Amino acid sequence: MKLIKKLTALFLAVTVMTSVSACNSSPSSDDLKIITTNFPPYDFVRQISEGTITPKMLLSGGQDSHSFEPTAAQIIEISEADIFIYTGGESDAWVENILDSIESDVVFIRMMDYVEPLCTEEEHHHEEGQHHEHSHEEYDEHVWTSPKNAMEIANAISVAMNEADPDNITIYKNGFGTLYSELSALDKELSEAAENLSSPLIFGDRFPFLYMARDYGIEYYAAFSGCSSETEPSAAKMTELIEAAKKYNVSKIYHIEFSTEKVANTVAEAVGAKTALFHSCHSVSDEDLKNGETYVSLMRKNIEAMK
C-alpha cells in the first residue's frame, strides 16, 4: 500500500506537468488507445477491432496479477488512454486507489461488473455436490474462464469501443460479430465436452476455473483455490487428490500455465497418470503471443485436454 501511495503521489505530480504541456501538443494517432491488465480483454480488443488496434497489456511474459504493482509511467499511460480494462477484485485493488486521482475521460471497464461473482473459497466438490462456504468472502477474479462470461465481457468492450470511436463502428460491429460467433461455438464445444466427462478433473495446482465449473457442471478436486498463494498442500489434501485419482482411475492430472508442476507430478507419479496443461488464459508467454494464440485457441486446447 505504501508503494501505491507513492505511485499515486508521483502520478499527480507528473499529471500537473503533462497537463501544462498538453495544450501545445497533438496526439500522434487517431487510433483508440486501450490498455488492459491481462490477456483475455487484450485479445478481445484485437478481435473486435479486426486487428486495427493492438492494445497495451500490463501483464506480459507470464507475470502474475496477484503480485503486480504498476509503475508511475504505467499509471500515467492509463490516465492518457481512451479505455482501460481490468478485472477487479483483490489483485486489482491498486486500480481503485488511482481512480479518484485520474482527472480525464478514461472509460474504465471492470470485468467483474458483468458477471455473477463467486467466492474464491466456495468449493464445488465431486459426487456429493456439496458447497462449502466460508465466512470470509473474497470473490474469484478469473471471470473469463467461462465462455458464457467471456461473451458478456466482450460485449461490454464492444459497446465501449463503439461509443468511443463511432467513425469505426462498422469495423467494431463486424469484429464483435465474428468474435461472438467463435465464443458461442466454444460455449457449445465446452458444454459437450463437460457432458462427456466420466470423472471429476484432478488439479495438482491452483484452480482458477470456478466460473467454468459452475456454468458447465464440472466436478473437480484441486490442491489450492484459484487465488491461493500456497505452494505446499497439506498431507490430508495430497491424500485426497491421490485417492480421488485412484477412485476414478484418471489418466491425467492437470496443472496451469507457469506452474512448477511439483504437486501435479507427485500425484501423477503416485497413480501412474500423465500430467496435462489446462490454461487459465490469465497471462500468456511471449512465445504464445508470437504464435498468435487467442483466448479461443487456448480454451480449445483445454477442451482437448479434457477428452
229 pLDDT more than 90: no
Amino acid in position 254: Y
Which residues have a Cβ under 8 Å from the Cβ of 36 and sit 6 or more positions away? 42, 45, 55, 56, 57, 58, 84, 85, 86
* Total residue length of the chain: 307
Amino acid in position 300: R
pLDDT score for 65: 63
CA–CA gap between residue 11 and residue 127 (Å, rounded): 52
DSSP state of 68: -
12 pLDDT more than 60: no
Domains of the chain, residue spans: 2-115+142-182, 197-306
Q: What DSSP string runs through 83-112?
A: EEEE--SGGGHHHHHHHTT--S-PEEEEGG
76: part of which helix (H) or strand (E)?
helix 72-79
User: What's the mean pLDDT in 241-262?
Assistant: 96
Phi, psi of 253 (to 5 degrees): -115, 125
Grid cell for residue 162: 463503439
User: What's the mean pLDDT in 239-246?
Assistant: 98
Q: Which range (16-30, 53-67, 219-233) has the least confidence?
A: 16-30
Neighbouring-strand partners of residue 253: 275
pLDDT score for 90: 81
Q: Is 285 exposed, middle or buried (0-12, 13-18, 19+ CB in 10 A)?
A: middle
Q: What is the pTM of this model?
A: 0.85
Q: Does 197-306 match 2-115+142-182 at the fold level?
A: yes
CATH of 197-306, one of 3.40.50.1980, 1.25.40.10, 3.40.50.1780, 3.30.70.870: 3.40.50.1980
Answer for the pair 99, 108: CB distance below 8 angstroms, yes or no.
Answer: yes
Average pLDDT, the chain: 85
Neighbouring-strand partners of residue 221: 202
CA–CA gap between residue 301 and residue 256 (Å, rounded): 12
Between 89 and 52, the higher pLDDT residue: 52
Grid cell for residue 181: 460467433
133 pLDDT more than 80: no
| CATH T-level fold of 2-115+142-182 | Rossmann fold (3.40.50)
Q: Which range (4-18, 97-111, 199-213, 260-274) has the least confidence?
A: 4-18
CA–CA gap between residue 6 and residue 72 (Å, rounded): 9
pLDDT score for 68: 77
CA–CA gap between residue 3 and residue 217 (Å, rounded): 41
Q: Which range (4-8, 44-48, 296-300) has the least confidence?
A: 4-8
Answer for the pair 194, 307: CB distance below 8 angstroms, yes or no.
Answer: no
167: part of which helix (H) or strand (E)?
none
Amino acid in position 31: D
22 pLDDT more than 70: no
